[in-house]
Structure 1
């Protein structure tokens, strides 16, 4: 049975695995802020042991009394480095060489894209990722197949869900008097605003105290509204946005300007997600659990930028299938 142990909790975290496919040890020197449970599960199926090295001013103690003893058990070391902390990387590298171990070195930027299928977004606004350049809008090679998928899937989806539109209309009217549809200004491609259409799931005074992120078990929703949010029925009217060319089926989730302005100041490369049309669903939505705020927005951006940089028909269809799994598994956002 897999177990997680902590060696000197103040300094280094160790993850042990019995089901690893190699005897290699993985050392990550940028700590684990960019990792989530899915990533760790994936890595523990590959590496016998994982060492996550936190940011600390006491590198000498960290290396000599916590990392050094762990190296004696392994002949192969995979060191994932962050050039932003070059001194630490050099010390670990020299330590491994002195012990005559086999070592391969990968930057955290390459490691995230190749192994975790997401783009590393620095925790520090001053840190740059050399793998990220300006994100161009999709060219014809991408736009045309996406448009075919958008239109064909939207027509099929509207036809199949028409009874839900009718049911939702009457249930909303019965439980919460007021308009059935909710129009909210969102930021789209090239930072242009558009009116996002949804079935109303909250009371009319839901934002009387100002704009806030929605959350699980949101007290502002009425009974059927909660069900719509959990099953994503409330998103169905966004099919109209696809026909209006505001949205694509797959893309970064469109956010409100009051939030994007904050994220743009605090999260490196955040504005790059606006190089393409936002989507009803997307890679970030199916790969990252529910969350709100700067921390979660940074993690979701890692997936959004990977989607933009590495678009393929396979990835597009994979997201559609994973979205179905999320919906039928009732994993609300």
Structure 2
């Protein structure tokens, strides 16, 4: 008997989306046909409200990472997340109706819309989570690699199996394509029958042995999943593999359609203009208080200036409120750590609420930085990192930012190893840069500042 097919992550997300969509459509139907006073209703109004509702839900779901399967599988994550995202959705729809349309509501149906929708979303996701605890969700993997990447084999397998997160994949068999023949072909074919997914890590698919190609093709025709290691890593971790990367340079840096890039440029201009105005006002209001408190608790210069590497490798000056002792680097350049002994007590307060970052608005106004992009690094560390990985300079293709994908996805960087890990997220951002991805970064940055969380 054939083994039942295991749904991949995309298929599971699609099922989850279908259930959510049906609930959203039912809730919008309740709002339009029962909650809004019928004397105000029209076909045009119905269409607009449905469009606003569906669009706002999809945007919120993407920005707030509502379809992260790892979170969906854990009750402590998905129940609170379901409540606050669906509550935010009904509030946005209700507020849009109040602002844009001159209408009145029936209180009973309106309350049902506002309260029942989050409950329905939560119950549906509870059902979804319990179903996938019963049926198999983890795919058995055969990992195909080259001998040139043998040193990173253990690391690659750990990434597939999941280090700190559930990937829903498990390596059961490995095979090097540099072997001229399949050792114990009968055993290999028997093992391949029990495999759900092939993950291939090779510089060129022309290197695959013909015999292996036939087996992989046969597996594809039987509905098995065949993906590259880069595709797996990118879809799972929302980053690009660096240390264990073995695909072509083109694959790791292929940019999306340039024809729609002008939308991102317009969005970037609006974001930088609005945030420069907003942060600039906060900076102007905060500076006198920081100046006075600095004289009392943190004697020394108010600002800390440092050279950083920006777009196209050009150096520029970055400004911060000083949070360390005056001679913090008298023994030489050193990366800051999360609990650095050089940070003063007053400096810790500045860092806790990200107040020390406010003067970077000067670099944004000067055109050296933008609000969203890879964090600029010092030249001495850039030189060291370039010797470790040939991909590091790629992050200088765009302007550096005050916040970025690496900052909201990875912990506080304390050494060169952390910088390389953050590079994986920076490259993912450069490759997949979009309006919605920028919105996710802005939201995560705001919540980090509001709740004083580390990144």
> Normalized against structure 1, the TM-score is what?
0.76
| Structure with more contact order per residue of length (Cα contacts < 8 Å, sep ≥ 6) | 1
CA distance in structure 1 between the aligned counterparts of 2:317 and 2:295, rounded to whole angstroms? 22
CA distance in structure 2 between the aligned counterparts of 1:21 and 1:163, rounded to whole angstroms? 56
Say if 1:182 and 1:118 are closer, same or farther in 2 by CA, change over 3 A.
Answer: same
Give the corresponding residue for 1:251.
373
1:106 match: secondary structure: strand
1:22 aligned residue (112, 118, 137): 137
Gap regions ≥5 residues in structure 1: 3-16
Give the corresponding residue for 1:51.
171
Correspondence list, 1:70-109, <5 A: 77-83=196-202, 103-109=224-230
Larger Rg: 2
CA distance in structure 2 between the aligned counterparts of 1:282 and 1:52, rounded to whole angstroms? 36
Say if 1:80 and 1:226 are closer, same or farther in 2 by CA, change over 3 A.
Answer: same
Give the corresponding residue for 1:5.
none
2:337 match: secondary structure: coil
Q: Give the Å deviation of 1:231.
A: 2.2
1:210 match: secondary structure: coil
Say if 1:87 and 1:75 are closer, same or farther in 2 by CA, change over 3 A.
Answer: same
CA distance in structure 1 between the aligned counterparts of 2:384 and 2:432, rounded to whole angstroms? 27
Q: Give the Å deviation of 1:140.
A: 4.2
What whole-Å deviation, never above 9, does each CA across 1:145-198 have from its counterpart, x for those lacking one? 202211111211232454433322222222222110111000000101100000
Q: Give the Å deviation of 1:127.
A: 7.0
RMSD (Å), alpha carbons: 4.1
CA distance in structure 2 between the aligned counterparts of 1:92 and 1:230, rounded to whole angstroms? 55
2:341 match: secondary structure: coil
Q: Give the Å deviation of 1:92.
A: 12
CA distance in structure 2 between the aligned counterparts of 1:227 and 1:55, rounded to whole angstroms? 53
Give the corresponding residue for 1:112.
233
Say if 1:127 and 1:212 are closer, same or farther in 2 by CA, change over 3 A.
Answer: farther
Say if 1:281 and 1:19 are closer, same or farther in 2 by CA, change over 3 A.
Answer: farther
1:319 match: secondary structure: helix
Q: Give the Å deviation of 1:95.
A: 10
Gap regions ≥5 residues in structure 2: 1-72, 75-131, 145-152
2:358 aligned residue (220, 236, 253): 236
Say if 1:213 and 1:20 are closer, same or farther in 2 by CA, change over 3 A.
Answer: farther
What whole-Å deviation, never above 9, does each CA across 1:92-112 have from its counterpart, x for those lacking one? 9959979x9853211111222
1:111 match: secondary structure: helix
> Normalized against structure 2, the TM-score is what?
0.57
User: Are the counterparts in 1 of residues 374 and 399 from structure 2 also a CA contact under 8 Å?
Assistant: yes
CA distance in structure 2 between the aligned counterparts of 1:199 and 1:36, rounded to whole angstroms? 42
Q: Give the Å deviation of 1:37.
A: 11
**Higher percent of residues as helix:** 2
Q: Give the Å deviation of 1:254.
A: 0.2
CA distance in structure 1 between the aligned counterparts of 2:300 and 2:175, rounded to whole angstroms? 52
Give the corresponding residue for 1:131.
251
Give the corresponding residue for 1:146.
268
Q: Give the Å deviation of 1:82.
A: 0.9
CA distance in structure 1 between the aligned counterparts of 2:352 and 2:175, rounded to whole angstroms? 38
CA distance in structure 2 between the aligned counterparts of 1:255 and 1:37, rounded to whole angstroms? 32
Say if 1:192 and 1:54 are closer, same or farther in 2 by CA, change over 3 A.
Answer: farther
**Higher percent of residues as strand:** 1
Segment drifting more, 23-32 vs 250-259:
23-32
CA distance in structure 1 between the aligned counterparts of 2:135 and 2:354, rounded to whole angstroms? 37
Give the corresponding residue for 2:409.
287
Give the corresponding residue for 1:14.
none
User: Are the counterparts in 2 of residues 31 and 53 from structure 1 also a CA contact under 8 Å?
Assistant: no
Say if 1:267 and 1:163 are closer, same or farther in 2 by CA, change over 3 A.
Answer: same
CA distance in structure 2 between the aligned counterparts of 1:21 and 1:268, rounded to whole angstroms? 40
Give the corresponding residue for 2:87.
none
